[in-house]
């Protein structure tokens, strides 16, 4: 059992492949079918290309503020590949790769960061982007509890950052889920910084995984840039959850290669050298080497994929730019499931004003 074999109090970290994609932990190499391996890789690439393009669009003044995922794709795609379709994804706000893997169309994600709520309506079991730090853990606990109460087999997989673990809601949610043995897996993406504040300033705990001990649940530190390790650890946690054994806490040790959001300048608080060192552990290149070693992938395929995705991303963004801006009805109509008279009156008064102004 992976979860029993790595002690967070001893700073033991689980990985499967090294920086060159070579398997160094044969015992725990997950048995993943080829199609899934390719799908994992493709999703990471799509997230990377969409991310890099979005940053360009933002610099051109075409995109609003957004939170880039670059560098964390492996920590997200590994867990989602291990999950079932019916499982829930409860994201924070930097989970583009996880959301894409769940089947959320890129257009939706772009539309959200473009400033339109229509981008948060998903067909999948995926909650909208959650901006207030840490608060999503309680939603995941509730989703998981509802799954138990309704006799479903779903697990809620939630993501949080290293900074989020300092928040009271993280504690309340983990503790709550623990008490009810709720089927929940919480993944801390420890990307080393909360905006500018380094990991060490968030907690005196040597690992974030060890916080699990106080909730009476397993906690494990995983190389977050190793999608295979993330897959394997999550799979075991999901099996535990489905067996009624309760939540698991996984700390994915990773790195945010880009800025916190497009409004952030990371050169103020970290060195070029540090970034370069982490780029050597880039999850996409590591995974590419792994699937190339398995003869599932090669340079030609990669170039073709990159060309295809660059065109797709461009077309998607163009469609988003052409998406109609919200109407007056739209900004009023979703406030309540059933619109109260008072709001209806405000809407009509505002429409009358607009009409009058048009006539002026």
Partner 1 sequence: MAEKTLLKAINEALSQEMERDDSVVVYGEDAGYEGGVFRVTAGLQERFGKQRVFDTPIAEAAILGSAVGMAANGLRPVPEIQFSGFMFPGYNQIAVHMARMHNRSRGKYKMPITIRMPYGGGVRALEHHSESLETLFAHLPGLKVVIPSTPYDAKGLLTSAIRDDDPVVFMEGKRIYRAFKQEVPDDAYTVPLGKANIVQKGKDITVVAWGPILHEAKKAIDSLKDEDFSVELIDLRTISPIDTDTIIESVKKTGRFLVAHEAVKTLGIGSELISRVNEEAFFHLEAQPTRVSGHDITVPLPRGEHHHIIDSGRIAHEIKRVATFE
Is 127 a binding residue for partner 1 by CB under 8 A? The answer is yes
| Residue 194 near residue 158, CB atoms below 8 Å | no
Burial of 155 (0-12, 13-18, 19+ CB in 10 A): buried
Helix (H, G, I), strand (E, B), or coil: what is residue 223? strand
Q: Which of 44, 143, 185, 212 binds partner 1 (CB under 8 A)?
A: 143
Q: Tell me which residues in 146-165 interact with partner 1 (CB under 8 A).
A: 146-150, 154, 156
Confirm whether 256 is a catalytic residue. Answer: yes
Site track for partner 1 across 33-62, x = CB under 8 A: ------------------------------
Q: Which of 342, 355, 358, 360 binds partner 1 (CB under 8 A)?
A: 342
Determine how many CB atoms are found less than 10 A away from the CB of residue 166.
Answer: 17
Is 83 a binding residue for partner 1 by CB under 8 A? The answer is no
Contacts of 90 (CB under 8 A, 6+ apart): 127, 130, 136, 137, 139, 140, 143, 156, 157, 158, 159
Number of H-type helices and E-type strands within the chain: 14, 8
| Residue 156 near residue 184, CB atoms below 8 Å | yes
Is 349 a binding residue for partner 1 by CB under 8 A? The answer is no
Interface stretch with partner 1, choices 131-139, 199-207, 229-237, 239-247 (CB under 8 A): 131-139
What is the CA angle 50-54-57, rounded to 5? Answer: 140
Is 216 a binding residue for partner 1 by CB under 8 A? The answer is no
Is 117 a binding residue for partner 1 by CB under 8 A? The answer is yes
Which C-beta is closer to partner 1: that of 141 or that of 229?
141
CA distances from 267 to 75, 264, 274 (A): 24, 9, 11
Place of tokens 């929940």: 184
Min separation Cβ 59 and partner 1, Å: 27
Is 324 a binding residue for partner 1 by CB under 8 A? The answer is no
Interface stretch with partner 1, choices 12-20, 175-183, 185-193, 273-281 (CB under 8 A): 175-183
**Residues engaged in binding partner 1 (CB under 8 A):** 88, 90, 117-118, 120-122, 127-128, 130-132, 135, 137-150, 154, 156, 168-169, 172-173, 175-176, 179-180, 334-338, 340-343
């Amino acid at each position: 059992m992976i979860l029993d074999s790595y002690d967070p109090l001893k700073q033991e970290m689980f990985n499967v492949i090294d920086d060159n994609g070579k398997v160094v932990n044969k015992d725990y190499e997950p048995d993943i079918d080829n199609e899934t391996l390719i799908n994992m890789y493709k999703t990471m690439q799509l997230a990377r290309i969409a991310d890099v393009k979005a940053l360009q669009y933002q610099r051109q003044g075409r995109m609003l503020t957004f939170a880039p995922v670059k560098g964390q794709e492996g920590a997200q795609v590994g867990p989602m590949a291990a999950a079932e379709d019916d499982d829930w994804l409860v994201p924070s706000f930097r989970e583009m790769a996880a959301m894409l893997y769940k089947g959320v169309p890129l257009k939706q994600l772009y539309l959200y960061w473009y400033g339109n709520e229509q981008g948060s309506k998903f067909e999948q079991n995926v909650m909208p982007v959650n901006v207030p730090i840490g608060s999503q853990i309680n939603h995941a606990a509730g989703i998981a509890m509802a799954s138990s109460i309704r006799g479903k087999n779903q697990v809620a997989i939630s993501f949080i950052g290293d900074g989020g673990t300092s928040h009271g809601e993280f504690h309340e949610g983990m503790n709550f889920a623990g008490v009810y043995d709720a089927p929940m897996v919480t993944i801390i993406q420890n990307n080393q910084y909360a905006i500018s504040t380094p990991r060490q300033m968030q907690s005196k705990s040597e690992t974030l995984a060890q916080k699990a001990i106080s909730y009476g649940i397993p906690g494990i530190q995983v190389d977050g840039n190793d999608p295979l390790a993330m897959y394997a650890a999550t799979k075991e946690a999901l099996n535990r959850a489905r067996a009624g054994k309760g939540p698991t806490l996984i700390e994915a040790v990773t790195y945010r290669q880009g800025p916190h959001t497009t409004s952030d300048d990371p050169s103020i608080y970290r060195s070029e050298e540090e970034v370069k060192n982490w780029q050597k552990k880039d999850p996409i290149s590591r995974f590419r080497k792994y699937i190339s070693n398995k003869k599932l992938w090669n340079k030609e395929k990669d170039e073709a994929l990159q060309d295809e995705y660059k065109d797709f991303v461009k077309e998607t963004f163009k469609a988003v730019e052409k998406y109609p801006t919200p109407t007056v009805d739209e900004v009023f109509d979703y406030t309540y499931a059933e619109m109260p008279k008072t709001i209806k009156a405000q809407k009509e008064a505002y429409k009358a004003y607009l009409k009058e102004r048009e006539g002026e």
